[in-house]
Structure formats: C-alpha cells, structure tokens
Chain A
Amino acid sequence: MRWLFASAPAGKAERIGLFLKLEAGVVAFFIVVASLLSSLRVGAATDDQRAARHPAPVPFTVGARLEKLYFYPCADCHAYMDPDDNLRELDVEKGHPSKLEHGGGLIWCFSCHDSPDYGKLRNLLAEPIDFDSGYQVCGGCHSQKYLDWTHGAHGKRVANWHGDRRLYSCMECHNPHQPAILPRAPEPPPPIRAGLNPMAPGKADEVRRSRPEWEQINDR
C-alpha cells in the first residue's frame, strides 16, 4: 500500500496527460469512422428502421364488395348523363345520398368515383380501382388507419385468429358517404336484483339512481 501512496502524487499528472491525449485520439478516430460509415449507409439505416417499425403485413384477403352493391352497373343510368362536378343536392330517389358527410366539403363524387368508367373507383392518382379493392381508395387519405388495418390493429378479422387472414373491407362498417358510426341501442344491462325477485327490464336505472334503503327509513 505504501508504494502506491508514495508514487501517486508524482505520476498522476503524467498519467492524466497521457490519458487525455489517448482519449482525444480515440474520439477523433471514432468520429472519422462514424462519419465515413454514415455517409455510406445513411439511406439504408433509415429504411431498416422503418422496416423494423412496420414490417410487411401478413398477407390477407378482403371480402368482395361488388355483389353487395344494390345499384351496381352504374352505367345503366350514367351512360346517358354528362358528368357534373358541381356541389349540389342529389336526388335521393335515385339511390344516392342527398349530401356527402365525408371530407368536410373538400371532396366530391369524382374524388373517389371514376368518371368516364362509372363501374370503377379511382385513387388519388386517378387510376381506376375495382369496387372490391375499394380499401385502396380509403388508404389514399387515411394512410395511418390503412396501415393499422393491414396489420390488424384497426378493423375486423373474420372467423379465426390463426391461419387464413380474411379481413372486412372498410365499407363493411363505414358508409363511405357518411363514415361516422351512428349511435344505436345497447344490449340489455346485467339483471340486478331488488330483494328476491328479478329486476323488471328497464328498471335498473331507476333503482340505481334512487336513494339506498337505509337512508329512507326515517321517511316512513
């Protein structure tokens, strides 16, 4: 122990100086190597990162939509009509919704429907797309939801959790002309009991909101 204490004050400054020199050299070396590497591989690294975050989805099939369309051969009527791109009220009796509650007034029929060929949809590049592949049209704007849907974090899978991946198309749940899900009545609540008898339907809410029995004793 003694030699350590004795030599320490003398050698310390030297050692620190040497260490600093070495350290600076090592750091400089790494900076050069890293800059070289990064100049070579900057594009590849970001692609890798992206791939790690969103690997390709497991292949899936989507239920057909065409057979469910009521007014399908659109050309039956529209072959004899000129395309009209003006915002207006549509005729409800001809099967169209009167107004479009989608896109906040920024989109109109021909944003999604192909105009010379009425039997198709179109994407943002104005390429024709089948009605069966309509989810590709939705994905043009709702890209994040689309990504989630392909990976299974949004939307509904049919029948199984393992094996063939069959998904519902966007239009099975969302009406493309009014995509917000409308409220509806819930299934009945759990029966609660008042005394020994089953609760009459619809009375649950009333009983729950009334004061507890022990507070009503003084009223009698």
Chain B
Amino acid sequence: MTDDRSEEPGSELQGTRRSFLKNFGIGTAGAVAAAIPTATPAWGGLTFREAFDDFFRKHYKKMSPEEIQAMLNRVEGRAKRRFGVDISCKNTPAQEGVVFGYAINLGVCQGYRDCVSACIKENNQGRDSQVQYIRVLEMDRGSVNLEHSEHYYDPATVPQEGKYYLPVQCMQCDDPPCVKACPVEATWMEPDGIVVIDYDWCIGCRYCMTACPYWARHFNWTEPELPVEELNTNTHYLGNRPRPRGVVEKCHFCVQRTRENRQPACMEACPTGARVFGNLLDPDSEIRYVLENKTVFRLKEDLGTEPKFWYYTD
C-alpha cells in the first residue's frame, strides 16, 4: 500500500511538472497573454477587481446609490461569466404606503403544487434541489396538526378524500425572529414588510433557520442546476438574483415582481385562485376585504411573531 501511494502521486507530480516546464519553455509571454482572456474563473467567477470590491464593500443599508449600482453591475457581470446570459439585476425600492399581506383560501386550494413549480422557475432554483420556498402540506380534514402533515404526497390525483392542502412559505412576520437571530445583519425587514436577505452578506451560519418556527428558510448546499435557457433574467438584488452556494434563502414575496405591481409568481400560477395578495394599508384592497369579512387564522399565532400571512375558507 505504501509503495503504491508513494509511486502514483509521485509520477503524476513528475508528469505535471514536466509538462509545465515544457510549456514554460515554449514561450512564457505568449502563454500568459493567451491565458488571460480565456482563463477559468478564479476568485469564484470574479475578476480580481470585483473580488476586491466585494470583499471591502459596505453593508447594503450603508451604501451610496453609486456603490449599489456598482454592486448590481458586479452581479450582472458575474452572471454573464457563469451562465453566458445577460440578466438585469434591479434594486427597485419599496413603494410608499405599502405593506404586503397574503391570504390563502384553503377551501379552494386543491394541492396541485402549481405554485411550487412556478416559484422554482421564477427564483432560478435547481430543478432537483430541495430548496423550495413553498411546501404544500397535506392535512387530515378536521385537524390542523402540522406534525401529522405530509409534504411528500404524490397520489395519482389530488385532492384526496378526507384531506385538505395547506401551502406554507415565508410568513413575512412583522416581528421576525430570524432577523433577531442573524449575527451579521444579513437579513432585515424592508419598509413594505418583506423580510429579505443579502446573500453576499450572509455567512451561512443558519441561526435564522433554527429561529424560524415555519421552516421557511432553506440552506442551499449546492449550486443550482438548471438549463440556462430557462434562467429568469428579471432579477432583484434582494430577491431572485443568482445566489452563491452556502447561504440561506427564502420566499421574498417575489420582490422583483410585486414592487412593480405584478403578482407573485405563485399567485399568478395558482389555477384555483386560492391566493389573495395585496396592500394591507389600502382599505379597498382585496386582502383587506378578506381580513374584515372572512374568518381568518394564522399559523402558530401564539408565538407572537405577527405573520402577515393568513388562511381562510369560504
């Protein structure tokens, strides 16, 4: 065993050294000049300048508009180098006088999971990844026991007899425990009530995941694997931009869409119209009608995290 070990790496090393010396001998200047434009990405796909700027950047909230623009350009450049696609990374600010709220009509949710697949496509998640921002729980009718729920359900057709379906995602708590748990302030609540993450500031400690009572936060262990032609190029810095590996992600109410008055992808995809989304501060909004006229409840309300996510039935 020891002989094998000492021989094989040695010979390999010798081979590489020999070829390296040979290449070196052919012409150093030419080789270096040819290598620079086509070099494999060092510094995690960044140029040295970008890596330098990223390392010495400030916190998102302390940046000037110029610094934010430079950061967005770095994100776009990195995506271009990684995927060969031009994406647009925006930093649309929150609208004045808007706090988002969400409600789901459990009476009409059929458990099709169309919201889940729309979310995966919208947010550029790996197609075989377990990072799914929405989990649809199959529940026994007449019970709200989350511990007896089933989110891997896969029958031939849904809805199954005696079951109902409860989609769970980030509740965008008004008093979010995840934000308190973060040791580096990589996550915070925006003025429109969306709890966002700066993926570049996140150190991947996962304290927020343990603090969250709703299993809304997910750690991405791997780079997402998805066909480049399916990449969603409409991105937001705090939303669905390409994320580095080893950070925490979660539902952000499709910040890249909702700040431009569009519906979240899950709501747009829902074939039954179970999802109601809108501005909690607007008395004429649909979400306010639901809250004022329907019997609504929130999950784990006793924890006092004040989720902005309600459930109701007709």
- Residues of A at under 8 Å CB distance from B? 53-55, 58, 145, 148, 151-157, 159-163, 168, 173, 181, 183-193, 198, 202, 204-205, 208
Interface of chain A, main secondary structure: loop
A152 touches B114 (CB 8 A): no
A-B residue pairs, 7 tightest by C-beta? A152-B286, A156-B273, A187-B113, A183-B157, A151-B289, A162-B261, A186-B158
* B263 and A185 contacting across the interface, CB-CB below 8 Å: no
A168 to B155 CA separation, bound complex (whole angstroms):
29
Q: Is the CB of B261 within 8 A of A204?
A: no
With A173-B273, A186-B112 as known contacts, state yes or no: A192 contacts B293, CB within 8 Å. Answer: no
A1–B170 Cα distance when bound, in Å, is: 64
Candidate in A53, A161, A189 with the most chain B CB atoms within 10 angstroms: A161
B105-132 contact mask (Cβ, 8 Å, vs A): 1 or 0: 1001011111011000000000011101
| B residues 147-182 in Cβ contact with A at 8 Å | 151-159
Residues of chain B within 8 A of A154, CB atoms compared: 105, 108, 273, 314
How far is it, in angstroms, between the C-alpha of A183 and the C-alpha of B111 when the chains are bound?
10
Q: Are B268 and A190 in contact (CB under 8 A)?
A: no
**Nearest B-chain residue to A198, judged by Cβ:** B128
Known: A154-B105, A160-B262. A189 touches B152 (CB 8 A): yes
Please state if B262 and A151 are interface contacts (CB–CB under 8 Å). no
| Bound complex: CA A152 to CA B135 (Å) | 24
Given contacts A159-B268, A162-B279, contact A189 B151 (CB under 8 A): yes
The verdict on B276 contacting chain A, using a C-beta distance below 8 Å, is yes
Tell me if A159 and B294 are in contact (CB < 8 A).
Answer: no
B284–A161 CB distance below 8 A = no
Q: What residues of B have a CB within 8 angstroms of the CB of A193 in the complex?
A: 130
Please tell me if the beta carbons of B290 and A153 are within 8 angstroms of each other in the complex.
yes
Q: Check B154–A191 contact: CB distance below 8 A.
A: no
Residues of chain B contacted by A58 (CB below 8 angstroms): 284
CA–CA, A145 to B105, complex, Å? 13
Cα(A188)–Cα(B312), bound, Å: 26
In the bound complex, do residue A191 and residue B155 qualify as a contact, i.e. CB atoms below 8 Å apart?
A: no
Q: Could you tell me if A157 and B263 are in contact, using CB atoms closer than 8 angstroms?
A: yes
Q: Is B286 a contact of A163 with CB atoms below 8 Å?
A: no
Residue in contact with A159 in the complex, picked from B114, B262, B286, CB distance below 8 Å: B262
- What DSSP secondary structure best describes chain B's contact surface? loop
A151–B129 Cα distance when bound, in Å, is 38
Q: Which of A53, A198, A202 contacts B154 (CB 8 A)?
A: A202
List 18 A–B pairs whose Cβ atoms lie within 8 Å, in order of A's numbering.
Answer: A151-B289, A152-B276, A153-B294, A157-B286, A159-B268, A160-B262, A161-B263, A162-B261, A183-B110, A184-B112, A185-B158, A186-B153, A187-B113, A188-B154, A190-B151, A190-B152, A193-B130, A204-B152
Tell me the complex Cα distance, A154–B107, Å: 10
Chain B interface residues toward A at CB < 8 A: 105, 108, 110-114, 116-117, 128-130, 132, 135, 151-159, 258, 261-263, 267-268, 270-273, 276-279, 284-286, 289-290, 293-294, 312, 314
Are B154 and A160 in touch, CB under 8 angstroms?
A: no
Q: Are B135 and A190 in contact (CB under 8 A)?
A: yes
Cross-chain contact B290 with A186 (CB below 8 angstroms): no
> Is the Cβ of B151 less than 8 Å from the Cβ of A53?
no
Give every chain A residue within 8 A of B129 (Cβ-Cβ): 191
When the two chains form the complex, which single residue of A161, A163, A198 contacts B258, counting CB atoms closer than 8 Å? A161
**Among B117, B155, B261, which residue has its beta carbon within 8 angstroms of that of A160?**
B261
Pairwise interchain contact A153-B113, C-beta atoms closer than 8 A: no
Q: Is the CB of B152 within 8 A of A192?
A: yes
Q: Identify B117's interface contact among A181, A187, A204, CB under 8 A.
A: A187
Docked Cα-Cα span, A179 to B253, in Å, equals 32
- Apart from A190-B135, A191-B128, A205-B153: 4 A-B pairs, beta carbons within 8 A: A153-B312, A161-B263, A186-B153, A189-B153
CA distance A148 to B290 in the complex (A): 9
Question: A205–B150 Cα gap in the complex (Å)?
Answer: 10
The smallest beta-carbon distance between A172 and chain B, in angstroms, is 9
Q: Indicate which residue in A53, A162, A173, A186 contacts B111 across the interface (CB closer than 8 Å).
A: A186
Bound CA span A189–B154, Å = 6
Q: Are B286 and A173 in contact (CB under 8 A)?
A: no
B135 to chain A, nearest CB (A): 7
CB distance from B98 to the nearest CB of A (A): 8
When distances are taken between beta carbons in the complex, the residues of chain A under 8 Å from B156 are 185
Q: How many angstroms between the C-alpha atoms of A57 and B1 in the bound complex?
A: 81
A162 touches B278 (CB 8 A): yes
Instruction: Verify B157–A185 contact, CB threshold 8 A.
Output: yes
